[in-house]
Amino acid sequence: MDGIHYDNGMLRKRFSIVFSALFVAGAWADGYPSFSDFRAELRAFYPDECHEQCKDPRQTNSVARIGRALDAWAAAHPGYDALDIRREEYLQVRKHVQPFLFRMSPFYFELGCNGGWTHNDRTVPGRHVNRLCNRFYREQNLIPDSAFALQNARNALTLALCCGPFVDDMHHVPPFRTILRKGFKGVRDDVAAALAKCPADDPAGRKELETALVGLDTIHAVQLAFAREAQARLAAGIADDAERRRFERIAESAARCPWEPPRTFYEGLNTLWFVREVLGYVDGTDQFSLGRPDCYFIDLYRADLAAGRLTREEARELVAKFLLTAELHHDGLRTLDSYNDHEMEIPMSLGGFDEQGTWVHNELTDLFLDAHLECGCVFPKLHARISASAPQAYLEKIGTMLMKGHAVFTLLNDDRFVKQFADEGYPVEDARAYIGVGCWNGMIDSVMDYSGGNYLSVMKILEMTVHRDPAAEKRAQLAIDPIDGAKTYEDVREILYRNVIRFTRHVLGEYARWGRANAKVFPHPVYTMCLRGGVESRRDTTEGGIAAQPRIVTLGFLGNVVDCLSSIRQLCFVDKACTLEEFLAAVRSNWKGPRGEELRQLAMAAPSWGDNSPQTNGEMAWWVKRVNADVEGMRTEQGYPWKFAIYTYREFMYWGLRMKATPDGRRDGDRLAQGFSPSEYRCRSAATTVINAIGSFPHECLYASNVNLTFDRSAMSAGTLAAILRVYAQKGAHMIQPNCNSVEELLDAQKHPENHQDLIVRVCGFSCRFIALSKRWQDEVIARHRLK
């Protein structure tokens, strides 16, 4: 492998020449311009690594001033609570906010918090409140240090992961439908009316509403600051006609929208960016979606064309710059090798049923898909919705993009999600209005807030059952029963299950017990009032102020668990190729014992998840049904039933690296199965077999699942992929994340990266240019089983 791949600076220098040549030449086949100046301007502002601060000191200095003011206020008011400091933060934002307008961009939204990724309090005032209130955990005895220590120990041992202290405080569903219908002013009017009627015996509710009013007025002030900035630019004089027209439009639109609903296609697109950014900025909530622009704005688009306010060429430029804004939030050629680099959580949903039940595949759908491909975007992530009844042209368009190496899709199945939400009691119009959020969750726009970043590793419990580690068990406060000496396969499974469910119930209990503290530390009143039920309840989402707050826990690597149990059953109790003690000894030796490799090969040949055998299909269903049954009656911190999912992020690599050999044939450090997918080590089946296996599962037992499948391009066509997606939807599964490539192409890309700069692969919950992957990640993608 050419050593240049490992040096970020040299890599960027080498390929900047190639990219610049393409852009200057205007190389897009269907006429898209190069946007080279636009790209250069945005890259000069945004950080190279997406979690860092933007490069403009005006933005970072502005946030620093707000932070210093909040620190001073907190010191002067030692008795403050979280709503007090939140209100003060809103006021300081009005004083110090620094809007940023790009010369080449038509959009106004940029506040420097990198598109809504808000975990860094150096870039987001809303997170500074969270930091200042963290002391309440100890001072008010909200959560004891021992509980934090236990959570940290379990995270460190790769037993569990929560994207926050006992509650996932990262993933939120943007309230686009609310703002597009009534604007932030409409929300303010609702809050003001509720405040006027607030009962005198509800001081907490009054304080929530009053704080939200201050926050909503702050959002209006932020919007008007963009209008003033545009007016100042115009007053200073702009020679370029196109640039002057852009600032005139910004000045006009920012004076009213999104305080009021958008009136044009342009204002609609801008509203998506503005809502995502401003709610992250003022409330510290990661708003992980750009909604459904082809569904929301088709009427505005057509009306603009009919009235002569917009030409198709202007629309193409708007869409391209809308998408490139997401793409340029980071350096897409920076080498990916860590846990969350290249992860900006900027998804956008396309297709699917609209609220009236009509399938959305219109000229905007095609415009966004075409621009995404021709502009070479990795971001925004495309959360395209599919269905067994989806138009053939739509599915084939996705298939064509995959065949071209543009693997940027999470494909969410309307036939599962819409039915699932309707069965849970949501109006069918709401069920159809779900959007893709984060990496893969489907959630209802303007109705839901949720906690989805909660991982439990069933496979880690199995590993600890096989490889006993008393010190680790003590550190994690686990009670692990050994399987040594079990007389039947049923005994083995039952012992393992007891270990798993004991741990699961304890973790869920800890989350429910301590998760309530989030309301005292991290309220987000403005965001709450934009969600259905928030105004009426007068309570923050962190206090259960809305009715739709699913909490989802993923059962990590259950496919590997099924394979492990299948190997034990086959070798020790069916074929009797060895005793259980002999088999466990081989596993514990990392398959290096006297019969180690022989037994490993036999283990690998046993039935495995994805082979569509009654045994493995039944085993997978048994586990999920049993876990659901055994947590029945347990409730989240908000009082709702727990929901389970099977999806995983980069843990399949990084948790696998830290896991010892297991009975499925894995060696020490081998990667784990991705989500609901078959193990890469065990899968020998064709596409039809794997999809039938997945389709055999009772998916109503899960809230979500993701399947990452790689298809052999030599055996595929756009039509074949469309047929596969249609069948997959018929089977009722939740999501599929496909790749379609060849080993030969990927190997050539390793040797000659300059020839493959546009090759994009789906890694797990995100995509990446193959040439930007580190060597070990490239090798992992190359080694995946390709379905024919």
Of 440 and 601, more confident: 601
Q: Which residue in this structure is represented by tokens 């993701």? A: 706
**Cα–Cα separations (whole angstroms), residue 82 to 93, 128, 450:** 16, 11, 21
Q: Is the dihedral of CA 238, 315, 276, 91 positive or negative?
A: positive
Q: How does residue 123 score in pLDDT terms, banded at 50, 70 and 90?
A: confident
Question: Is the pLDDT confidence value at 284 over 80?
Answer: yes
Q: pLDDT tens digit string along 391-423? A: 999 999 999 999 999 999 999 999 999 999 999
Q: How does residue 340 score in pLDDT terms, banded at 50, 70 and 90?
A: confident
CB atoms near residue 354 (< 10 Å) = 17
Greatest CA span in the chain, whole angstroms? 86
Q: How does residue 34 score in pLDDT terms, banded at 50, 70 and 90?
A: confident
* Residue 412: strand, helix, or coil: strand
Residue-by-residue DSSP string for 434-453: EEEETTTEEEETTT---B--
Give me the percent of the chain exceeding a pLDDT of 70: 95
pLDDT at 27: 38
| Cβ atoms of residues 414 and 433 within 8 Å | no
Question: Is the pLDDT confidence value at 22 over 90?
Answer: no
Residues 6+ apart with CB under 8 A from 732: 413, 415, 416, 695, 699
The reported pTM is: 0.95
Give the bridge partners for 189, in sequence order. Answer: none
Q: pLDDT tens digit string along 173-224? A: 999 999 999 999 999 999 999 999 999 999 999 999 999 999 999 999 999 9
Q: pLDDT tens digit string along 225-268? A: 999 999 999 999 999 999 999 999 999 999 999 999 999 999 99
Q: pLDDT tens digit string along 681-737? A: 888 889 999 999 999 999 999 999 999 999 999 999 999 999 999 999 999 999 999
Q: How does residue 749 score in pLDDT terms, banded at 50, 70 and 90?
A: very high
Helix pair angle (265-283, 82-96), 10° resolution: 130
| Cβ atoms of residues 213 and 191 within 8 Å | yes
Q: What is the mean pLDDT of the chain?
A: 93
Q: pLDDT tens digit string along 343-371? A: 989 999 999 999 999 999 999 999 999 99
Distance of CA 93 to the CA centre of its chain: 28
Q: pLDDT tens digit string along 140-162? A: 999 999 999 999 999 999 999 99
